[in-house]
Amino acid sequence: MRRAPLARKAALVAAELAVAAFVLVPFFWMVSVSLKPPDEPFAIPARLWPQDPTFENYIAAFRPEFRTYFLNSLVVSLTSVAITVGLALVAAYAFSRTKLLIVSGLLALVVLAQMFPHAAIIIPIYKMMRAGDLLNTYASLIIAYVSVTLPVAIWMLRGFLKGLPQSLEEAASIDGAGPFRVFREIVVPLARPGIIATAVYVLIVTWQEFLFALSFTSTRDMRTLPVGMNDFIGQYGIRYGELMASSVLISIPVVAVFYVLQRYFVAGITAGAVKG
């Protein structure tokens, strides 16, 4: 059936290696810089791997502030994920099960909201946070993150829910279950892959968010990781070693979470997107 299975296999492995190289070369450089002593990143010609690898940068990077930033990021991201997914699921359910002109109109507005440039709305939102006395609190960031991730989350989950068979819901309805019970006992369990997919998407977006985090937190103990990176960037220079060490430390937990959730995420997104 196949002409030259061995040659084909070799070509595939070569392609696999090329993809891995495309991804890993910059990452390798990042790890390499993170292991170099302070002045070595700037050697000419650039050295691929440090002469005397050192963990100095990691020790410097893992300072108390880093742990605070990490905790802040974790709290804000996870809470945002939980709230966004909850709200989006409920809304997406209504969007996928209602055929009303006004509801379609609302859906268009939800998609449009995704297009707002954040730099243009940040000062008005700041004023609202200020009025609510929420600056320098987790709440300000969580509210902002939930708002900006909701549109895509609704969109993803709506596509997913549209693909679910409705016969079960109808059967439950006929058996006398109210809409809340149908939602809780039929829809939510069936939608689990979609929920996980959306959750991972929201997690990645909020984990990296910069502009809101910068604006709404001024005290050092409320900063999140991406903003904390600025500690290494001065008016006149960047401390590359420590910055790259911090970056490696930041990416590890997300990759780990991803590795575990990969299976669900993949299944979830497709189901949503196919029926989009």
Partner 1 sequence: MLRDRWMSFAFLAPAVLLLGVFLYYPMIGTVIESFYSTSFINPNPAFVGFKQYETVMGKAEFWQVLANSLVWTVCVVALQNVIGFFVAVLLNQALPAQGLVRAVVLLPWVLPGVVVAILWRFMYDPQLGLINSFLISAGLTTEGIAWLADKTTAMGAVILAAVWKGFPFSALIYLAALQSVDREQIEAATIDGAGALRRLRDVVLPAIRNVILVNVVLTTILTFNYFDIVWVLTRGGPQGATDIFPTKIYELGFGQFRFGEAATYGVASIGVLALVAALYVLAQRAGSRRRRPV
Partner 2 sequence: MKRLLTSVAMAALLTAAPAMAQDKTVLQFWDNQQTESGLSDYQRAAVERFEAENPDVTVNVTTIPYPEYQQRLLTAVQGGNAPDIATLDQIWVAAFAAAGAVEDLSEEAAAAGLTKDKFFPGAWDSASYEGGLYGIPFNVDVWQFSFYNAALLQEAGVDPASLATWDGLKAAAEAVTDRAAGRFGVGLFGHEGEDTVVVMNSFVFSNGGSVLGEDGSCALDEPAAIEALTYLQSLVPYAPQGILNASSGDMRQLFLNGSLAIEFWPALEQPTLQKSAIDWGFVNGTAPEGKTPVGTYGGWNLAIFSASPNKDAAMRFAEFLTREDVNGDVVDLVPANTKAAAAFLAANREGPDEIMAHLENARPRPLSPRYLEVADIEVRLAQDVYSGEDVAAAAKKACDAIDALN
Q: Give the per-residue contact string, 187-226, with partner 2 (x = CB under 8 A; - = no).
A: ---------------------------xx--xxx------
Q: Residues, the chain, total?
A: 276
- 130 is a contact residue toward partner 2 (CB under 8 A): yes
Interface residue with partner 2 among 117, 123, 167, 176 (CB under 8 A) is 123
Interface residue with partner 1 among 5, 124, 165, 237 (CB under 8 A) is 124
- 166 is a contact residue toward partner 1 (CB under 8 A): yes
Q: Is the peptide bond before 45 cis (omega within 30 degrees of 0)?
A: yes
- 46 is a contact residue toward partner 2 (CB under 8 A): no
Contacts 24+ apart (CB under 8 A), 211-216: 211/118, 211/119, 211/122, 212/118, 212/122, 212/125, 212/141, 212/144, 212/145, 212/148, 213/76, 213/141, 215/122, 215/126, 216/126, 216/129, 216/134, 216/135, 216/136, 216/140, 216/141, 216/144
Question: Which partner from the list partner 1, partner 2, none does 237 bind, CB cut-off 5 to 8 Å by kind?
Answer: partner 2
DSSP bridge pairs for 233: 238
- 232 is a contact residue toward partner 2 (CB under 8 A): yes
Tell which positions 199-238 bind partner 1, by CB under 8 A.
204, 207-208, 210-211, 225-226, 229, 233, 238
Could you tell me the smallest distance in angstroms from the CB atom of residue 236 to partner 1?
A: 15
- 250 is a contact residue toward partner 1 (CB under 8 A): yes
Interface residue with partner 1 among 25, 71, 133, 181 (CB under 8 A) is 25
Nearest alpha-carbon partner for 178 in 169, 168, 167: 169
Could you tell me the smallest distance in angstroms from the CB atom of residue 68 to partner 2?
A: 15
Decide whether 191 or 227 has the Cβ nearer to partner 2: 227
Q: Do the Cβ atoms of 30 and 247 come closer than 8 Å?
A: yes
Interface residue with partner 1 among 146, 164, 191, 196 (CB under 8 A) is 146
Interface residue with partner 1 among 10, 103, 184, 189 (CB under 8 A) is 103
Question: Which partner from the list partner 2, partner 1, none does 239 bind, CB cut-off 5 to 8 Å by kind?
Answer: partner 2
List of residues contacting partner 2 (CB under 8 A): 39, 42-45, 122-123, 126-127, 129-130, 135, 214-215, 218-220, 227, 230-239
